[in-house]
Amino acid sequence: MPGSVRPRAESRGTGAALSVEPVPPTVQPIPPTVQPIPPTPPPASGAWRAGIDPVGRRRFVDLPGPLQLERGGILPGVTVAYETWGRLDAAATNAVLVLHALTGDSHAVGPPGPGHPTPGWWDGLIGPGRALDTDRLFVVCPNVLGGCQGTTGPASPAPDGRPWGGRWPEITISDQVTVEVAVADALGIRRWAAVVGGSMGGMRALEWAVGHPDRVDHAVVLACGAAATAEQIGLSAVQLRAIIDDPAWNGGDYHGRPGGRGPDAGMGLARRVAQISYRSEAELEERFADRTRPDGLFEVASYLDHHAGKLAARFDAGTYVALTRAMMTQDVGRGRGGRASALRSCPVPFTVAGVDSDRLYPLHLQEYIAERVGAPLRVVHSRRGHDGFLIETEQVAAIVHDALRTA
């Protein structure tokens, strides 16, 4: 991406502010002829909104465009939200890049709070004395291109001030990594001590190693494959159909609609389908079987409803569509002579791991990668399915610790 690139602290909430003495409110009774103002409707999206929502721990990098995308689109400029832990050393040799999955964001570790509706998605892995030891490492986690938590995506303003919405161009895993390379440049990081990610984050860690081997000392790739499979594409296609067939989708242009209603029903259905694929059959049977609640609803259906509602409150349907499409087109061998050739020719040391009960990204997909990059396959033992890479913190921490020890 051409032009100078500079990280910035977000002035809305992090910079110095004028000291203003609070003024006690004056309460006036409402005259009988005046009706109370109705409450403001909820936003049509769970996306973070600049200038409205608290900044939290986010920092920002403005990347001037144009960014030429792999599929032919162009973004005139990109803003990336990111969080960091630890301190970058004088030689900038201790930096580790952590990459989130589909519905993650930059808040990899830390409690919920203003601007961060959920706790860190990899709490227990990052911090003093942990596998990613912030007493000696500088850990960076960006929100991905196309995201909805501070990085430019479908819910963000386009140059005309309106949300991108249905005008958002198709992006790929390679495009996301291109943006992350520009973020590294902005932070003064020429080479990462390690790039670590699982699921969609693992796809980007793989792309970093193959596409930018001179900038990665070690790649830690968890719970993903070298390319999307037909089953993964099919499951994703069903989820996308659920969203775009929601009448509130409106061709992707729902963010400013009156009434604040977005395609929550469609995204909720997509999340229900995904949640089943994220867990194992054995775990669902053990937790729920065919039990029902007093109101007659199956317990497993109530569990899926719960996850659908949680996602709608913190995520954007357009981002779900954009990132899912990027995962559907993932192929590390595209333009590189095929997957096997791309992996075998990659000089970066790898740690490759999968979850033994993962039915969405089963172990044979990680075996394929490990065999071709000459790395042993590490196995996370879990009944939690694909989500085991997020939940089995102790096992994942041991894998990451060993990877950094050999980096």
- Which of 26-30, 135-139, 395-399 comes out lowest in average pLDDT? 26-30
- Residues taking part in catalysis: 199, 358, 386
Last residue of a domain, one of 295, 325, 355: 325
Give the H/E segment covering residue 80.
Answer: strand 74-85
Q: Domain containing 100 — which CATH number?
A: 3.40.50.1820
Domain total in the chain: 2
Looking at the domain assignment, is residue 29 inside a domain? no
Same domain, 99 and 242: no
Same domain, 107 and 185: yes
Q: Can you tell me which residue has the tokens 């499979």?
A: 229
Same domain, 298 and 218: no
Q: Domain containing 299 — which CATH number?
A: 1.10.1740.110
Task: Report the C-alpha dihedral over residues 354, 359, 365, 367, rounded to 10 degrees.
Answer: 50
Same domain, 133 and 222: yes
Last residue of a domain, one of 325, 344, 366: 325
User: What number is the average pLDDT over the span 241-248?
Assistant: 97
Looking at the domain assignment, is residue 204 inside a domain? yes
Q: What is the 3-state secondary structure (H, E, C) of 219-231?
A: EEEECCCCECCHH
Same domain, 128 and 271: no
Looking at the domain assignment, is residue 43 inside a domain? no
When pLDDT is cut at 50, 70 and 90, the band that residue 43 belongs to is confident
Task: Report the C-alpha dihedral over residues 165, 168, 172, 176, rounded to 10 degrees.
Answer: -80
Span 322-373, pLDDT tens digits? 999 999 999 999 999 999 999 999 999 999 999 999 999 999 999 999 999 9
Looking at the domain assignment, is residue 305 inside a domain? yes
d(CA 56, CA 61): 15
On whether the pTM is more than 0.85, the answer is yes
Which range of residues forms the domain containing residue 79? 59-228+331-406
User: What number is the average pLDDT over the span 142-170?
Assistant: 97
Spell out the residues 6+ positions from residue 258 whose beta carbon is closer than 8 angstroms to its own.
Answer: none
Looking at the domain assignment, is residue 37 inside a domain? no
CA angle 335, 340, 346 (to 5 degrees): 80
Q: Does 271 appear as a known binding residue?
A: yes
d(CA 82, CA 150): 8
Last residue of a domain, one of 325, 355, 374: 325
Same domain, 251 and 336: no
Same domain, 318 and 369: no
Same domain, 258 and 147: no
In this prediction, residue 64 carries a pLDDT of 82
Span 49-92, pLDDT tens digits? 999 999 999 999 999 889 999 999 999 999 999 999 999 999 99
Q: Does 387 appear as a known binding residue?
A: yes
